[in-house]
Amino acid sequence: MPTHPWLVFAGMTAVTFATRYTGIVAAGRTLPEWFRRWLKYVPVAVLAALIAPDALAPQGRLTFDLSTVALGVGLIVAWRTRNVFWTIATGMAAFWLLRLLTGGTT
C-alpha cells in the first residue's frame, strides 16, 4: 500500500494528462494524407471496440442473457433512429420488461 496516496494521485494525473495531451497536440502537426484518412476510421473502430466486450462478454466470457436481448433491441433502435437518448430508453425499457416477464431474475 502506497504511504503517500496523494503523491501517487499526482503521478497518475501526470501520466494520464500526458496520454491525452500528446494525441491532441500531435494531431495539430501537418499530417500525411493516408494518416488523415486512417484517422477518419478511428471513431467507428474505437466505438465498436468499446461496445463489443461490454455487450457480449461482460464477465470476460461470452454470455447470452436478458441483457444481450435488451442490447439487441437497443442496436435496432440505434440503427433506425441514430439517436442516443432513444437507444438508451428503449434498451433499458426492454431490459426491465424482460425481467418483469421472466419473474424478476436476471
From 32, 64, 85, 100, residue interacting with other proteins (rule: CB under 8 A): 85
From 32, 63, 64, 95, residue interacting with other proteins (rule: CB under 8 A): 95
Count residues binding other proteins (CB under 8 A).
75
From 32, 64, 84, 100, residue interacting with other proteins (rule: CB under 8 A): 84
Query: 75: burial class by Cβ within 10 Å (0-12, 13-18, 19+)?
Result: middle
Tell me which residues in 24-83 interact with other proteins (CB under 8 A).
24-28, 31, 34, 36-58, 60-62, 67, 70-71, 74-75, 78-79, 81-83
> How far apart, in Å, are the Cα atoms of 60 and each of 56, 67, 86?
9, 15, 28
> How far apart, in Å, are the Cα atoms of 37 and each of 21, 31, 42, 45, 64?
21, 10, 9, 13, 36
100 in contact with other proteins (CB under 8 A)? no
Between CA 77 and CA 37 the distance in angstroms is: 29
97 in contact with other proteins (CB under 8 A)? no
102 in contact with other proteins (CB under 8 A)? no
The cell for 65 is: 442473457
